[in-house]
Structure 1
Amino acid sequence: MLGKSDALPVGSQLQGGKYVIEAVLGQGSFGITYRAANTGSLLHKQVAIKELLVEGSQRLAGHVQHPPERSDESWGRLTANFEREAQTLARLKHSNIVTVHDAFAENGTIYIVMEFVDGTTLDQLVRQRGGKLPEDEALRYVAEIADALSVLHKNGVLHRDIKPANIVIDKPGHAMLIDFGTARDFVADKTLTHSVILTPAFAPPEQFQARARRGPYTDIYALAATTYWLLTGEAPAMGEADAVKDDTRLNPQIRTALAHALAFNSQERTQEAASFMRELLGPSAQPAAPPPQAEATSSVSGFQRGATADANATTIPNQPQPRQQWDAETYDESRGNQPPSFTASELASRQLNASSVPPRRSPWLAIGGGVAAAVLLGVLAIVLLGGNKGNGTNPPGGGASDTPTAGQVAMASPTAAPVAQAQATSTSTPVPPTNTATDTPALASKLSLPYSLLGVQMTSTNEGWAVGGGGTILHYSGGNWIQMSSPTTNTLPSVAIVSANEGWAVGQNGTILHYSGANWIQVSNPTTNTLFDVTMVSADEGWAVGENGTILHYSGRSWTKAGSPTDALLFSVAMVSANEGWAVGNVLTNNTIIGTILHYSDGSWTKMSGPNYVALEDVAMVSANEGWAVGDGGTILHYSGDSWMQVSSPTSALLLSVAMVSANEGWAVGENGTILHYSRDSWTQVSSPTNALLRRAAMISANEGWAVGNASPSGNPIGIILHYQNGVWSEYH
């Protein structure tokens, strides 16, 4: 995080003295937002100025030097994103969207000048109010943001990061949509490559893919998730629209509308913001007449329902004519009812202010009071694996602490013996005991978990571990997979076991778990970046990799940040020895995702030069001289003779994991249940018992192994486990 010393001093001048810095409003890993006076105007109005200043930058003689680990190309991408944010905001004129006044380059970086909004973010307001809001007040804010989204969508723009932290309530009590650093133009009926930027608890499934169709339904899902959080204090779990529909804390009309907007399959989701509001408020709802302007109070006036109105009216008065009018059908995915698969590689953060603003009115409502504060408008949104349930006082995606789920359940045997609860430490979250009857129900037949399974490692034929969404931890022992109590609800994509008595798991928000003494505990971590993979060289040394080029080293009984030559998303790390290893991942370059390969040798990581491979997902080394990597489009790379070469592949499916038994035999798995076998110097596709998304494989020997992933029956993702034995892959029962 940037420190106060990195900010421009009070009194600093920009644009030849036109803007004079008065205070720092907030700062994050990608920039600083200031309050400034516009002395170029006779009114000397206050403005908010956002400066692009990434973590690690230095200010030399007033000139910003970007971090040495960021290439000129990487810095160019950041400045281009920043400029795009200014251009997006400048062309959108709406009373519930922050206004851009100016943008310019100076001091070796970029600045955006915006109106200064004196208010507080919706997530802060909810915390101040005890964890949730009254229905009428919450729906007023939602209606104003829906109004703003209608204008965005009619102008071909998606926000892509709707959440409470990106909604500011100004002093008069109106909701303003902020943080357009993730906003993108979209083209009707086109599949485009997008950078994957999102906040997991509020993001829909299609946003976890780089190449996927997005449309207004993408933002509507996030707005519905925000609405649910405002009313209940919890974020909805992805794929649990039915649970929302059955939530008796909400009135039937509201929960039906939210369930529709939260559908896992975008084709089944509400397609327009105006339609969402009509469903939420009732088909006969009409905009409340704007009241006379009055002094702000702490209360919010009544909400109008049931009046006679045209249910199809979607016109927003006093707004620019839409650049393009699209039918909702053009946004739909072309995969029928098959929900999108979200991959480990499509993964990869944060928030404005003002005063003396004119009244903001939505045609859907009229608002009275509000509260005041100052918040930073960031450039990017953190990219994670999947949504978890939040709690009432700490919204997901906003630095929340985790509320763990507890208990354990025999997945194949209802009579499996219980195991010890995880013990809390100063760095872990206590896991309260729960009744297994009310936790995840025991299944006597086919394994079914409410979350995807993402990682697996076997220590022997008789023992292994698997991890996944919602902090899921499974233990294989005695022929059964048992769900263990977990000290976190954060998604866990990787597990590495050193021995039967010790292991590690990593995941969302930099989560690091340690297995010791038959318990998993959460330990302190040196980063909040999501970690995607962990591997151990020994009990005393290991490595973990993640987003923004994060590399962690375990040594001396603690995890520390290591130097990284890239800001890419690193998804896999494989060590040959304590002195040598490899890591692979993806980086977005010129709107195209390409593979990244890092090599560890002589105590440092270096980026390998070579052809622009497609997205890479996993790497496995057989020896210092041989290894394999897999990725998008069926890509298979072979390391031999000191170089990586692409080899023939029998599939064009996305490959997510590769596991080698020896130099002569191995396996790879991926989307649509794809399973490849390496033997006799070639890869062949073999029969698979599933069309699920297979995320990770772990082989015990040439004759036995396991694979985990997720299926989506009825549009709801559940964990799945495959077992390889006697020459056949079968689904675990």
Structure 2
Amino acid sequence: MARFTRRSTLQLAGASLAAATVPAVTAGEDGWTSVETPVDSTLHDVAHTATNAHAVGDGGVVVERRAEGWEVVLQGGPTGNGNDLFGAAVTDDGQRLWLVGASGAIGEYDVTTGNLVDRSAPNDITANFNDVAVTGPAGDADVYVADDSGSIHYSFENGEEGSWEDDVPGSGSGIPAIEFHGARSGHAVDTNGRVYETDDGTTWEPIGIEDADVTFYGLDSDGSDDVTVSGGNATIFEYDGSQWVPESLGDADLFDVDTDDGDGYAVGGGGTIFEYDAGDWTRTQTPTGENLQAIARGDVDIAVGAGGDVLER
């Protein structure tokens, strides 16, 4: 099933992305190029959609990668109050971009029409929402939102008012990342060194990681036997369905990870990007020293971070 999660490989929008002629600022030795953006605040997440790539950030800003360059398409977030946006995910058809952030902000943005529906404060909850996962098509999606208090809020009715429920899978530690690989199957990580798995979207079971000794930040859920977690001290953990295998790559915090079929990336502090190829991680040269918060692979690979930085390859 074709999926347009925030870390999936773009298919439908490949032509649009390849045709974009975004102005280059600085090119790195390993093919990463820094491009101009209309914002100078932190961009926290990025996703490919059925039209173009979109990134979300501080102040509720949403920027889109168009042929003439990156442009602001939304300001102020779903409520208009300027709440920072921390997470983004798209429906399976790529037509709706779901946004989450501070003070209970949740929005459903139609990338084809520009229409934004405010789904904020489900059940009057105004916690800081860190990440979002979405499965299903536009208008009929299952939506999962992770917050700073250790709760996962979910709606099987496209986020409609009154359809939200929640569960606390762990001890109440914040959940920085959540991702699904199937209709109701996926994983989440918390800041207390735990990884959780669900196969029904409602109940969660811990699957590790014992004695991790680092804070978890990033998550890539590709199957029940194919999970990757990134964390502090440039640590990567890979799960094959029975055991976790750790690997230390250096000292930078790795805030996001995206791997599939033996290749991918992990990104983090100080402009760090590690490339994954045939089972090996290698640090690449980048033209920025800013913290990179998220990575999305597609016909054009895109990393976003502090200072409105966007790197493309």
Q: TM-score, normalised by structure 2?
A: 0.78
Q: Say which of 566, 573, 576 aligns to 2:181.
A: 576
In structure 2, what is the equivalent of residue 513 of structure 1? 107
Measured after TM superposition, the shift of residue 609 of structure 1 is: 4.2
Q: Say which of 533, 556, 581 aligns to 2:157.
A: 556
Q: Deviations over 1:371-427 (max 9, x none)?
A: xxxxxxxxxxxxxxxxxxxxxxxxxxxxxxxxxxxxxxxxx78xxxxxxxxxxxxxx
1:489 equivalent in alignment to 2:89: no
The structure, 1 or 2, with the larger RCO (C-alpha pairs under 8 Å, 6+ apart) is: 2
Which amino acid letter does the alignment assign opposite residue 84 of structure 2?
Answer: T
1:597 equivalent in alignment to 2:195: yes
1:617 equivalent in alignment to 2:221: no
Q: Confirm or deny: 8 A CA contact 1:621 1:628 kept in the other structure.
A: yes
1:458 equivalent in alignment to 2:48: yes
Distance in structure 2 (CA, Å) of the matches to 1:515 and 1:621: 24
Q: Deviations over 1:274-331 (max 9, x none)?
A: xxxxxxxxxxxxxxxxxxxxxxxxxxxxxxxxxxxxxxxxxxxxxxxxxxxxxxxxxx
1:635 equivalent in alignment to 2:231: no
Q: How does 1:48-197 map to 2 (within 5 A)?
A: none
Measured after TM superposition, the shift of residue 610 of structure 1 is: 4.1
In structure 2, what is the equivalent of residue 720 of structure 1? 309
- Identical aligned pairs, as a percentage? 24
Measured after TM superposition, the shift of residue 490 of structure 1 is: 0.2
Q: Deviations over 1:648-685 (max 9, x none)?
A: x332210001112x221010100011100111211111
Q: How does 1:177-326 map to 2 (within 5 A)?
A: none
* Greater strand content: 2
Q: Confirm or deny: 8 A CA contact 2:273 2:283 kept in the other structure.
A: yes
Q: Say which of 241, 250, 255 aligns to 1:656.
A: 255
Distance in structure 1 (CA, Å) of the matches to 2:266 and 2:151: 25
Q: Deviations over 1:208-250 (max 9, x none)?
A: xxxxxxxxxxxxxxxxxxxxxxxxxxxxxxxxxxxxxxxxxxx
Distance in structure 2 (CA, Å) of the matches to 1:688 and 1:455: 18
Measured after TM superposition, the shift of residue 479 of structure 1 is: 4.8
SS of the residue corresponding to residue 167 of structure 2 reads coil
Shift in CA distance, 667/479, structure 1 to aligned 2, threshold 3 Å: farther
Q: Say which of 234, 254, 279 aligns to 1:681.
A: 279
Q: Confirm or deny: 8 A CA contact 1:568 1:596 kept in the other structure.
A: no
SS of the residue corresponding to residue 103 of structure 2 reads helix
Structure ID, larger Rg: 1
In structure 1, what is the equivalent of residue 294 of structure 2? 696
Shift in CA distance, 610/471, structure 1 to aligned 2, threshold 3 Å: closer
Measured after TM superposition, the shift of residue 483 of structure 1 is: 0.3
Q: How does 1:16-27 map to 2 (within 5 A)?
A: none
Distance in structure 2 (CA, Å) of the matches to 1:617 and 1:688: 21
Q: Say which of 549, 560, 565 aligns to 2:169.
A: 565
Q: Confirm or deny: 8 A CA contact 2:195 2:209 kept in the other structure.
A: no
Measured after TM superposition, the shift of residue 720 of structure 1 is: 0.7
Q: Say which of 571, 579, 585 aligns to 2:190.
A: 585
Distance in structure 2 (CA, Å) of the matches to 1:469 and 1:507: 9
Q: Confirm or deny: 8 A CA contact 1:467 1:474 kept in the other structure.
A: yes
Which amino acid letter does the alignment assign opposite residue 582 of structure 1?
Answer: H
Distance in structure 1 (CA, Å) of the matches to 2:225 and 2:182: 12
In structure 1, what is the equivalent of residue 226 of structure 2? 626
Distance in structure 2 (CA, Å) of the matches to 1:493 and 1:672: 19
Which amino acid letter does the alignment assign opposite residue 575 of structure 1?
Answer: F
In structure 2, what is the equivalent of residue 40 of structure 1? none
Q: Confirm or deny: 8 A CA contact 1:638 1:645 kept in the other structure.
A: yes
Q: Confirm or deny: 8 A CA contact 2:151 2:169 kept in the other structure.
A: no
SS of the residue corresponding to residue 454 of structure 1 reads strand
Could you list the runs of 5+ residues in structure 2 that have no partner in the other structure?
1-21, 24-34
Distance in structure 1 (CA, Å) of the matches to 2:46 and 2:249: 25
* Greater helix content: 1
Distance in structure 1 (CA, Å) of the matches to 2:85 and 2:239: 29
Could you list the runs of 5+ residues in structure 1 that have no partner in the other structure?
1-411, 414-444, 588-594, 711-717, 725-733
Bigger shift: 561-570 or 518-527? 518-527
In structure 2, what is the equivalent of residue 475 of structure 1? 64
In structure 1, what is the equivalent of residue 264 of structure 2? 666
Q: Deviations over 1:90-145 (max 9, x none)?
A: xxxxxxxxxxxxxxxxxxxxxxxxxxxxxxxxxxxxxxxxxxxxxxxxxxxxxxxx
Which amino acid letter does the alignment assign opposite residue 654 of structure 1?
Answer: D
Shift in CA distance, 468/722, structure 1 to aligned 2, threshold 3 Å: same
Q: Figure out how many residues of one structure are paired with residues of the other and give that number.
A: 263
Which amino acid letter does the alignment assign opposite residue 215 of structure 2?
Answer: A
Distance in structure 2 (CA, Å) of the matches to 1:586 and 1:523: 26
Distance in structure 2 (CA, Å) of the matches to 1:644 and 1:554: 31
Distance in structure 2 (CA, Å) of the matches to 1:584 and 1:555: 21
Q: Deviations over 1:120-173 (max 9, x none)?
A: xxxxxxxxxxxxxxxxxxxxxxxxxxxxxxxxxxxxxxxxxxxxxxxxxxxxxx
Q: Deviations over 1:14-38 (max 9, x none)?
A: xxxxxxxxxxxxxxxxxxxxxxxxx
Distance in structure 2 (CA, Å) of the matches to 1:641 and 1:580: 14
SS of the residue corresponding to residue 194 of structure 2 reads strand
Which amino acid letter does the alignment assign opposite residue 547 of structure 1?
Answer: D
Q: Deviations over 1:23-75 (max 9, x none)?
A: xxxxxxxxxxxxxxxxxxxxxxxxxxxxxxxxxxxxxxxxxxxxxxxxxxxxx
Shift in CA distance, 681/609, structure 1 to aligned 2, threshold 3 Å: closer
Distance in structure 2 (CA, Å) of the matches to 1:450 and 1:622: 33
Distance in structure 1 (CA, Å) of the matches to 2:85 and 2:145: 13
Which amino acid letter does the alignment assign opposite residue 630 of structure 1?
Answer: S
Q: Confirm or deny: 8 A CA contact 1:651 1:685 kept in the other structure.
A: no
Measured after TM superposition, the shift of residue 628 of structure 1 is: 0.7
Measured after TM superposition, the shift of residue 561 of structure 1 is: 2.8
